[in-house]
Structure 1
Amino acid sequence: MEKELKITFESIENYNSLDAIEKKLFDAAQKIREKAYAPYSNFQVGCAILLENGEIISGSNQENAAYPSGLCAERTTIFWAAANFPDVKMKKLFVIGAPKDAVSSVPIPPCGGCRQSILEYEAKQKEGIEIYFASLDGEIYKTKTIRDLLPFSFDSSYL
């Protein structure tokens, strides 16, 4: 028996359709993307997270010659935020990724490992984190929770 799975996301028209905070997150993710350490893949990713206290935390992917010892932008940012603000909820996460010298791109969603890490913090704070993934050109998709991108998720309820 086949069943249909519904995944909910929003397509945001462009950068100018974002509110002031969302524009700050987009800009922070785009700026930190340029600082990514990606000498092997040349694929640079930037991430910015809005915390409930108004702080914006950003990070980029960090590669390593000994694959898979590197870490994605989303996880570097999430882990830093959780270590330094352990009791502050994460409200919004913005990610932008593209090849190093690209002038145009498509929206890149978080990878599977990052989706699982985001899920862990959603479960910890008992609240969804809005996920935005964008192109360099300002094409943006938004979900209200990582569960929209990870519908058959594994969390501590299975342990």
Structure 2
Amino acid sequence: MKILLKSAAVTALLLGSGLTQAATTTSSIPMGVDVPRSCTLSNVSAGVIVPEDGTEATGGFTIICNIDTYTFYVTTDSLEAGNMHLKDGNGHQLPFKINQSYLYNSVSYGNYDLDSSTRNWYANGILPIGAPVNAVLKFKLQAPTTATTPAGVYTDTFRVNVTY
């Protein structure tokens, strides 16, 4: 009986100590997503007919970037060649100008005529990430056409390039 009591006491001691010495372990799994930098151009005017009488025609585009530092460069094919003009198939030229305004929430961030020194627009943290910038472009002949203006279709191409 003495051995039985000792055996029961040791068993109780072992069972009790096992219950009070429970261990825990933890682990972690890192999670994340990589969102690439991006800019989109939307609402790009399909085409603009510049009026013969010297009044303005309006076009434009919207740019949205998921970063706050980017640059866009605007130009025309003729400006890249030296001066802005609409040109017909026979080489006749009509000088014109483009007034450009960039708006965010109806606040203007520039209102100037496009020329060789005003082609870059820098968004260096001045607007919130994802802010839609609306470009309003006003196209106008420098002088109205006259009865002596050679007939023809005069064209040029406006371009925008975003670097981010």
Structure with the bigger percentage of helix? 1
Highest relative contact order (Cα 8 Å, sep 6+), 1 or 2? 2
Q: What is the TM-score with the length of structure 2 in the denominator?
A: 0.29
Structure whose alpha-carbon radius of gyration is higher: 2
